[in-house]
């Protein structure tokens, strides 16, 4: 057992948050105010607040540079860029999904209006490539192209998610593809872009990308479980929020397509136009569990996590970094308790 | 008088439109459908249509490479990227501004919904830097940074425009700054980014950027005049649309801040919460004219165009390209009749 060299999430406070603040300095004051509110740098009146979000994607990008033998700092522009893209997507998705709460606070569109949330997201997306284009690295253009490819999948995943709302026949395979695009694509990019920027070997970058892809699917499965059974203290969202919004999340689709009596009762409840009552919400959660949706999501997450961990077990990655990646993966997929 | 070497707008059909189509090929089919509808490549059912938009920004980028002594093709990725950014902003602005018609067709949000318009815009913005990052040019990172800086101004300009809606005290200087950010920034980038990608001299790139900045302000002034007095056949929008939406466009703000009796009557009419009747719309247009708003906009546009043309009169730009730029500038600022 190798002792991890650092508390990896402290990278987020010490390196990534200051770099994000510095990137925001470039923005027009009005746009900056919206973006900094979203990131938790200040509250809606501009008074200092505390940054929310775990910055996991950014930390992965730093570790990715380190895995390629470079100092973590070499991955800092990549870390900043993936965090900017992640937060761009949160700003736009919260608006599209009508989510009024994020990280225990009202979302930007709920406070400032929808046009403001669109522009704040646009600004963060625009900043991401600018930061990467300034990286003192011969491979920065390749890093920009990797990030663009994952941003494209992220957008396709969100469009699929929107389309699922009005469809009654979503298959589990479509739902897994949507989750891979919406969540795993950016985690895959985060886990490999630091190695790209550090000009690491292509096979290492590809292995790290696969690690991130599996980790992303594991993460989304557990996030969907928490979206039903998580406590508001942990998730920062209202209880049963995914069921309330009738989201076709992974455990729900697994239950709906389970060919069980519970799955059929869930479909009857879920696929009506009416808003569910509190009692019906509790019943729906029980039906997802009875139909095997929860157990399937948890065991699939375990399998995805195992596949991810196998990829970083090779000798190619220095053991200290591999251990940091392993701990981060276990924490992110909610398997650390 | 130098004879122009080519019909510059044919560049748009022959080079830029195919390059945009090719960029769209990378997108997920669902997202591509939305983007191609917006660009006029197909109608809402996917049947072939004809591309709309004059592609002026793209043509400027091609001429910009040519001005630096390179073949126009060297500017093609830059041309594609600025057209992608321009269309990203149209997709998002139409949604924010509630505009249901663009280029004689219903806008994407009006046909497909607001979430779809947000995602289509995001996708085009993401593609822009990817295309630039692939350019076979040593200066592509600098081109990406120039484009990012102008995209940031574009976003700041749109935010200012949104803020103006609920303000009664917008000054003409604020309004000119908004127009410079919202419109001139990207035209300035378009006019210089080809020279950047062609690794042209810095002073030439800067001169072309200034040319584009002046041209952009001239264009916005005339576009605002057309937004009041233009015919629907020319503008592709309903008659008097800017007054109907009570936009604080440049001629309107010039009239409102004119300290004339007509300006005061306009303020009384314009700054109420009620929707204007057809008769009131006609009256408002007359008041903008009476208060000198139209004459000011037209003479300021002439002055900006003259400043723009002066910048490309130097010996540094080959005379054939200078003539192409001159003709394009005159056409764009509506001074070709």
H-run or E-run covering B160: helix B140-165
Work out the pLDDT band at A11, boundaries 50, 70, 90.
confident
Has residue A2 been placed in a domain? no
Has residue B134 been placed in a domain? yes
H-run or E-run covering A105: strand A105-106
- pLDDT, tens digit, for every residue of A125-172? 999 999 999 999 999 999 999 999 999 999 999 999 999 988 889 999
Q: How much of chain A is helix, strand and coil, in % rounded to 5?
A: 70, 0, 25
For the record, the structure tokens of B273 come out as 């919460």
pLDDT at A5 over 60: no
B236: closest CA of chain A, how far (Å): 24
Has residue A337 been placed in a domain? no
Has residue B115 been placed in a domain? yes
Q: Is the dihedral of CA A192, A198, A202, A204 positive or negative?
A: negative
Check if A167 contacts B (Cβ < 8 Å). no
pLDDT value for B205: 97
Nearest residue of B to residue A88 by CA position? B122
Q: Which of residues 36-95 of B touch A (CB under 8 A)?
A: 88, 92, 95
A327: closest CA of chain B, how far (Å): 32
Q: Look at B122 and A155 and tell me if their CB atoms are within 8 Å.
A: yes
pTM here is 0.94
Q: How much of chain B is helix, strand and coil, in % rounded to 5?
A: 70, 0, 25
For the record, the structure tokens of B133 come out as 């990052």
Q: What is each CA distance from A101 to A40, A94, A107, A235, A334, in whole angstroms?
A: 13, 8, 5, 10, 21
Q: What angle do CA B154, B158, B160 make, to 5 degrees?
A: 115
- pLDDT, tens digit, for every residue of A300-328? 999 999 999 999 987 889 989 999 999 99
A204: closest CA of chain B, how far (Å): 22
Q: What is the CATH number of the domain that holds A295?
A: 1.10.600.10
The span from the CA of A306 to the CA of A320, in Å, is: 19
Q: What angle do CA A95, A29, A134 make, to 5 degrees?
A: 90
A34 in Cβ contact with A112 (< 8 Å): yes
Has residue A5 been placed in a domain? no
The span from the CA of B158 to the CA of B150, in Å, is: 12
A218 in Cβ contact with A298 (< 8 Å): no
Has residue B5 been placed in a domain? no
Number of domains in chain A: 1
Residue of higher predicted confidence among A235 and A277: A277
Which domain, by its residues, includes B256? 10-332
Has residue B2 been placed in a domain? no
Length of chain A: 337
Has residue A3 been placed in a domain? no
The span from the CA of B65 to the CA of B71, in Å, is: 7
Of B31, B96, B163, which is closest to A156 when you measure between CB atoms?
B31
Quote ipTM for the complex.
0.93
Q: How large is the greatest C-alpha to C-alpha distance in chain A, in angstroms? A: 59
pLDDT, average across residues B136-148: 96
Nearest residue of A to residue B178 by CA position? A28
pLDDT value for A241: 82
- pLDDT, tens digit, for every residue of B212-230? 999 999 999 999 999 999 8
Q: CB pairs below 8 Å between A and B: how many? A: 131
Which residues of chain A are within 8 Å of residue B133 when distances are taken between CB atoms?
A: 129, 141-142, 144-145, 148
């Amino acid at each position: 057992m190798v002792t991890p060299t650092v508390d990896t999430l402290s990278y987020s406070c010490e390196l990534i948050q200051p770099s994000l603040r510095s990137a925001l300095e470039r923005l027009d004051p009005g746009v900056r105010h919206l973006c900094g509110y979203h990131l938790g740098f200040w509250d809606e009146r501009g008074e200092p607040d505390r940054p929310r979000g775990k910055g996991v994607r950014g930390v992965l990008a730093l570790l990715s540079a380190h895995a390629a033998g470079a100092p973590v700092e070499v991955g800092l522009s990549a870390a900043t860029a993936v965090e900017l893209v992640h937060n761009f997507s949160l700003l736009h998705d919260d608006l599209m999904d009508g989510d009024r709460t994020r990280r225990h606070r009202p979302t930007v569109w709920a406070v400032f209006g929808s046009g403001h949330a669109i522009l704040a997201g646009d600004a963060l997306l625009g900043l991401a490539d600018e930061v990467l284009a300034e990286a003192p690295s011969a491979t920065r253009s390749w890093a920009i192209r990797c990030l663009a490819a994952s941003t494209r999948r992220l957008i396709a995943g969100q469009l699929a998610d929107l389309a699922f709302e009005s469809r009654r026949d979503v298959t589990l395979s479509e739902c897994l593809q949507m989750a891979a695009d919406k969540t795993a694509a950016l985690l895959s990019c985060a886990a490999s872009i630091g190695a790209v920027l550090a000009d690491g070997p292509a096979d290492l970058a590809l292995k790290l990308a696969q690690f991130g892809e599996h980790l992303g699917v594991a993460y989304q499965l557990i996030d969907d479980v928490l979206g039903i059974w998580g406590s508001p203290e942990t998730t920062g969202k209202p209880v049963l929020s995914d069921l309330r919004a009738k989201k076709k999340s992974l455990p729900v689709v697994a239950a709906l397509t389970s060919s069980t009596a519970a799955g059929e009762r869930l479909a009857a409840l879920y696929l009506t136009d009416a808003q569910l009552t509190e009692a019906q919400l509790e019943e729906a959660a029980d039906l997802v569990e009875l139909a095997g949706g929860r157990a399937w999501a948890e065991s699939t997450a375990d399998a995805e996590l195992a596949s991810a961990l196998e990829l970083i077990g090779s000798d190619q990655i220095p053991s200290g970094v591999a251990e940091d990646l392993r701990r981060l993966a276990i924490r992110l997929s909610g398997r650390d308790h």
